[in-house]
A and B are shown apart, each in its own frame.
Chain A
Amino acid sequence: MKTIKNILILFLLMLGFLAMGQQTQQKIDMDIDNVGNAKITVSMTMNASQWQVWNANLGNNPAALKREIERSMPAYFLDDFKLEKDDMNRSFNLSLNAYGVCEINKRGVWSIETDQKDANVTELTDHKYMLVSSPMELGGAVQQTFTINFPSEATDIKVDKDSLGKSIFEFDMNNTAGGINFMMWGGLLFMIVGAGWTGVSLMTNKSK
């Protein structure tokens, strides 16, 4: 199942070895493009001991970090992992691409599930929403701020509920990448002009 909660939990588990006792902030940005793929960026600043532990486990082993993320997100196809560490400020920035994050149904409605009942969603702008949570997986020790940016092509974005009462984002999005079918419209134009011309000719002949 592809849901926002999967993503939140994943990046939380990535920190599962962090010392408890002090609330840590984690920022996750998800930029959705006009074909339903997403660029996910996770950034976080840690205290000294957390930084040491994180580096020992994953920070100094990006391959393990990548594998951990891939295994924890079986629903997604991921690539273009980039990890930027700022040792001076004990922070990191991880970005990756996730394909097919949004789904489109037979009615042409796009959706992305949160898998959370009554998700705490705040509308920041027409195309930007925010979810804040402190998942219990780490005893509420990490506060996650999740922002989701919909593409400019997305319209009628709304937070609805699915059949199980879980919050779900739904939106419309017309695709612009397909181009115009000149052959179809040209043919249609020829037929209309030809038919009109014929009609006019017939009328003219009749009146004669």
Chain B
Amino acid sequence: MKNKLIPIALVVIGAILFGLSFLSFGSSSGDLDISIVKSNSIMPAAHNVYSNELALDGKYYLFKAKMTNNGKNTLEDVTVRYRIPGYVEWTELDIIGEMFPGQTASVRCYPKFKDDISEKMTESTEKVEIEISWDGAGEDDIIDEEFSFRISDRNEYMFTNIPAAEIAGWGDVYNNDALLACFVTPNDPIVKYYTQNIQEKILMGEQASVTKDPNEAVRFLAGIYNATVLSHMVYSGTKGIPETLQDVSKFSQHNRLPREVITGNTGLCLELSLLYASILSNAGLDPVIFLVPGHAYPGYRLNGQYYAIEATGIGGEGLGSIMSAEEAFKKGMEQVSEFYQKYQNGDPRYTLVDIHAVNQEGVTPMVLKDDDFLRKKVDDIVASWGSAGTIAQTSNSGQMANRVNTGGGNSGGNSGGGNTSGSSLSFAIPGGWQTYMRPVPEIPIITAQVLAPDQTTTVTVFDVPASSGQEALGIINQYFQSYGMSIQYQMNGNQVSGQTFSDNGVFNWVGKTLRRNGGIRLVAVGAPDYLYGQSTGYINQVFNSIQ
């Protein structure tokens, strides 16, 4: 019996050690260090952005946690859960399969709020509870963290989410500008209903998004403006948009939603811009909002060109004057011109939000429900338009449409005298490009040349005394041959693509021709073959704008 005692004792001791090893060394015990970076405030209007980790490259999270395993053991199935009482139930954020000693993992939280958060009319302070556990973790091991954050009301727009003390430049002030797209609500049933009424009662039909015709698009813009004038909508001013970096008090603005602007019949510059953008988007155009110090105004992008209107031209009887649609458009285009000058000079206070571009980055509009009461209010407003809508449409829109051809803002197409007639080819000159009139006196058929900042991508305007495109290209070739160059081309209707060969290499180009003043005008844009692929974006932009 004695000689069995020792081996049995060994087995017992071994079993005890083996069992203890799981208590003291096993995966159950851990020393996880947590550090949390949180958002102080979130906007209900942007709830679709906060819930989408792909939106704007994941910039808008509720919190992110850095977890480092400072213990000696590998932790398995480390699980991070969170909840926001009253908004989000316990939700698993991530399960990390293994966390080795010294390993760090980061987890980000993109909370999925219910759509009804966009009905939140008051701000509140809420709490996030976070729980981190792992396989075999005892109650004492489980880590609980919590922090408070603010949910604003649905109308609040914060220009930036950077603390005031950290603001260093205008890029910081406009840090949230992409989120303006959340307030652009083309799918709001009330906005849709209002848009339909403009299309039917004011414009008597429109096809701007179908034809991409600038005249038609401007007529649509005028239609929106006239609708607001006929509704007796008024501008009620406030200094909502920051003018200086010290304007900390203005780094948030209470925006009425487009539906509230329609039914409330009043709006600030930014609110009117949001309304226009919603209607334009609903009609299939590409809206943009221009942000400048102390002001915002709406517009759209069409065929590579930007158009704008001074929406606050509606003024109000109390303000003494109401601009006509033509005046508002003229003012808007002047502002676009100024905008581009400042923008090209690198002034960071001048920025624009291309609504559909940021939509594609995951910034989607807030979801709003239909409302019979608001529809009824829209009906009342539409009734006030009466037959005046037709009058407004005929008196203003036609004149404005002509202005597009006479050039405004960034419209190009310099003919010899600088005045582009309605029948000549015009095109949009991208920002920063230089125009040279009659650049080669020895070749008089070259009317103008526009050179990109890269000094290689070039637009050339030819005015050739010829009766057809073929003949015109033949004459151009003759001129070129006398300078040791030659061209090869293919024509398809009025479109032409070709190559120019010279001692300097091959120059690829595309263009369009049009009969003009008894001759042919050719506008061609291209680049050296080795840079053509790199310049395709610019070339297509210019080519598509030739009309």
Contact = CB atoms under 8 A, between A and B. Distances in A.
B20 A187 contact: yes
Interface string B54-93: 1001110100101010001110010000000000000000
A69 interface: no
Contacts of B7: 193-198, 201
A169 interface: no
Contacts of B58: 1, 74-75
Given A1-B54, A64-B168, A100-B106, A191 B14 contact: yes
B100 A35 contact: yes
B104 A77 contact: yes
A94 interface: no
B74 A184 contact: no
Contact of A35 (B66, B77, B104): B104
Contacts of A184: 17-18, 21-22, 25
A193 B10 contact: yes
B61 A74 contact: yes
A194 B9 CA distance: 7
* A contact residues, range: 35 or more
Interface string A136-174: 100111000000000000000000000000000000000
Contacts of A136: 537
Contact of B100 (A2, A178, A188, A193): A178
A6 B101 CA distance: 27
A71 interface: yes
A177 B102 contact: yes
Interface string B395-410: 0000000000000000
Interface string B1-38: 00110111111111111111110111000000001010
Contact of B98 (A20, A104, A188): A104
B18 A191 contact: yes
A176 B173 CA distance: 47
A100 B98 CA distance: 12
A173 B26 CA distance: 20
A21 B455 contact: yes
A194 B3 CA distance: 11
Contacts of B10: 190-191, 193-194, 197
Interface string B515-544: 000000000000000000111010000000
A105 B22 CA distance: 23
Contacts of B533: 140
Contacts of A103: 96, 105
A198 B4 contact: yes
Contact of B25 (A181, A188, A192): A181
B14 A187 contact: yes
Nearest to B24: A183
Given A107-B97, A178-B72, A197-B7, A139 B108 contact: no
A188 B14 contact: yes
Nearest to A6: B57
A188 B106 contact: no
B66 A77 contact: yes
B454 A20 contact: yes
Contacts of A189: 14
B103 interface: yes
Interface in B210-251: none
Contacts of A181: 21, 25-26
Contacts of B3: 201
A81 interface: no
Most chain A Cβ neighbours within 10 Å, of B10, B20, B37, B537:
B10
A108 to B, nearest CB: 6
Contacts of A193: 7, 10, 14
Given A21-B454, A178-B101, A188-B14, A99 B95 contact: no
A139 B534 contact: yes
Nearest to A53: B346
Nearest to B69: A35
Interface string A100-134: 10011111100000000000000000000000000
Contact of B95 (A106, A107, A186): A106
B77 A106 contact: yes
A156 B18 CA distance: 33
Interface in A22-67: 35-37, 64, 67
B131 to A, nearest CB: 19
B453 interface: yes
Contacts of A67: 166, 168
B16 A187 contact: yes
A37 B104 contact: yes
Given A108-B98, A139-B537, A179-B72, A77 B106 contact: yes
A92 interface: no
A75 B101 contact: no
Given A1-B54, A178-B74, A35 B61 contact: no
Contact of B17 (A72, A74, A75, A186): A186
Contact of A191 (B11, B95, B101, B108): B11
B346 to A, nearest CB: 8
Contacts of A207: none
A11 interface: no
Interface in B405-435: none
A23 B453 CA distance: 14
A74 B104 CA distance: 16
Contacts of B95: 106
Contact of A74 (B9, B15, B59): B59
B53 interface: yes
B101 A71 contact: no
Interface of B: 3-4, 6-22, 24-26, 35, 37, 53-54, 57-59, 61, 64, 66, 68, 72-74, 77, 95-106, 108, 166, 168, 346, 453-456, 533-535, 537
Given A74-B58, A107-B97, A202-B4, 19 more contacts: A36-B104, A37-B104, A77-B106, A99-B66, A99-B104, A99-B106, A104-B99, A108-B97, A139-B537, A177-B100, A178-B73, A179-B101, A183-B17, A186-B17, A188-B18, A195-B7, A195-B11, A197-B10, A201-B3
6 contacts: A1-B54, A17-B346, A36-B103, A67-B168, A106-B95, A187-B13
For the complex of A and B, the 4 pairs showing the least CB-CB separation, nearest first, are A190-B14, A187-B17, A194-B10, A197-B7
